[in-house]
Amino acid sequence: MSRLTVTKTNKLFIDGSFVRSESGQTFTIAGDRYPRASRKDVRDAVRAARAGYARWSAQTPYNRGQVLYRLAEMLETRRHELEAACSGAAEVERSIDRVVWYAGWPDKLTQVLGSTNSVAGPYLNYTTAEPTGVVGVLAPTEPPLEGLISRLAPVLAGGNAAVVLAGEVSAPAAVVLAEALATSDLPAGAANLLTGPTHETAKVLAGHLDIDALDLDVAGEPGYLIELERLAAGGVTRVVRQRATEQTLGCVAAFVEHKTVWHPRGI
């Protein structure tokens, strides 16, 4: 008699832990069962992200870069699993290389985006790039892995914490990505991944007053996006719309705040 395989129970990734949906509900993709995140899961994820943001943003940019690089390493070791969860090897390689690209940014953001400003008076005046805070990410559905990583990596590179709504078709990729995140030395709560239909949860996330920015999938249905943007307006939440697989500094800059500091110069 052959051995019975041990099957994996797919879970949400919240606050560094793998948890079932609070609702107990699941959905099925390609015969596998995945947790269906509820409103309360979104609530918990935002709370975890707020705490995770404090930890992640307190690390040195050098350290954040190393953690992101380690994420690439962790993805590389899971490439077979990842290939099965997306369109294949090429997408996995692009995704891993994208993480590597963003891993180089944390300790360069202030040098590229910030400045020392010549003001007309006896002051040192400088502008630094600081994280925006907690970012809600509505991940694109296609391509499943590259879309998730293209949206998550710049948010983390900026020093932000993320609550990612991975949706349904990307759920297999999200689960493997979560395992890579969990083993990458990322502080608990800095990245939270929720699977399941997003029609309800996206509204909860967009209207949540404790998120600072919202990354919307440009490919979304227009009427729905308008509704999400209106919800975000209630908290003066920054709304960013970027292409699914874009890899630019702008993707990080969208989640960076410029802080300007003045100090007198005198004897």
Partner 1 sequence: MTSLPGTPGPGTQLTPRDARPAPPATPAPPATPARPATPALTETPSARAIPAAYRHLAGRSVDPVGIEQRAAALASRSVKTVAKDHALRTAISLLDLTTLEGSDTPGKVRIVSARARRPDPGDPSVPSVAAVCVYPSLVGEVAAALCGSPVKVASVATGFPSGQIPLAEKVREVEHAVAAGADEIDMVLNRGALLAGRYSEVVEEVQRVKAACDGRHLKVILETGELGGYEMIRRASLLAIAGGADFIKTSTGKLPRAATPPVVLCMLEVVRDVYGETGQMIGVKAAGGVRSAKQAIALLVLVVETLGPSWLTPDLFRIGASSLLNDLLMQVHRRESGVYQSPDGFPVD
Partner 2 sequence: MTESSSEVLATSAAAWDYAPAPESRDVVTIRPRYELWIDGEWSAPQSGEYFPTVDPSSEEELAVVASAGAADVGRAVAAARAAFERGWATDHAGRAHYLYRIARILQTRAREFAVLESLDGGKPIRESRDVDVPLAAAHFFYYAGWADKLEYAFPHGTRVPHGVAAQIIPWNFPLLMLAWKIAPALAAGNTVVLKPAETTPLTALLFCDVAREAGLPNGVVNIITGGGDTGAELVRHPGIDKVAFTGSTEVGREIARSVAGSGTHLTLELGGKAANIVFDDAALDQAVEGIINGIYFNQGHVCCAGSRLLVQESIQEPLIAKLTERMRRLRVGDPLDKNTDVGAINSRAQLERITSYVRYGIEDGAEIFQPDCVLPSHGYFHAPTMFTGVTQSHRIAREEIFGPVLAVLSFRTAEEAVAMANNTRYGLSAGVWTEKGSRALAVAQALRAGVIWINTFNKFDPASPFGGYRESGFGREGGRQGLEPYLHLT
Q: Name the site residues for partner 2 (rule: CB under 8 A).
A: 113, 115, 117-121, 123, 125, 127, 132-133, 209, 212, 222-223, 225-226, 229-230, 232-236, 238-239, 241, 248-250, 257-264
Least spacing, CB of residue 115 vs partner 1, in Å: 21
Q: What is the CA radius of gyration of the chain?
A: 19
Output the smallest distance, CB 3 to partner 2, in A: 54
Q: What are the tokens at 83?
A: 């290939």
Give the 3-state secondary structure of residue 258: strand
**Cβ closer to partner 1: 31 or 266?**
266
Q: Which does 73 bind (CB under 5 to 8 A by kind): partner 1, partner 2, none?
A: none
Q: Return the closest-CA partner of residue 196 out of 164, 167, 173.
A: 167
Which partner, partner 2, partner 1, none, binds residue 118 by CB below 5 to 8 Å per kind? partner 2
C-beta closer to partner 2: residue 23 or 127: 127
What are the tokens at 116?
Answer: 């020392």
Helical pair 39-58 and 199-207, crossing angle rounded to 10 deg: 50
Considering the complex, what minimum distance in angstroms separates the CB of residue 157 from partner 2?
Answer: 17
Which lies closer to partner 2 via its Cβ, residue 27 or residue 123?
A: 123
- Return phi, psi of residue 153, to 5°: -60, -45
Residue with tokens 């099925």: 28
- Minimum separation from the CB atom of position 191 to partner 2 (A): 21
Binding site residues, partner 1, CB under 8 A: 122-123, 264-267
Residue 47: CA count within 13 A, CB half-sphere: 6
The counts of H helices and E strands in the chain are 10, 12
Cβ nearer to partner 1, comparing 123 with 126: 123
How many other CB atoms are there within 10 angstroms of residue 111's CB atom? 10
With contact defined as beta carbons under 8 Å apart, do 191 and 161 qualify? yes
Nearer to partner 1, 1 or 267 (CB): 267
Among partner 2, partner 1, none, the one that 267 touches (CB under a kind-dependent 5 to 8 A) is partner 1
- From the list partner 1, partner 2, none, partner contacted by residue 120 (C-beta under 5 to 8 A by kind): partner 2
Shortest Å distance, C-beta 265 to partner 1: 7
The answer to whether 190 touches 49, Cβ cutoff 8 Å, is yes
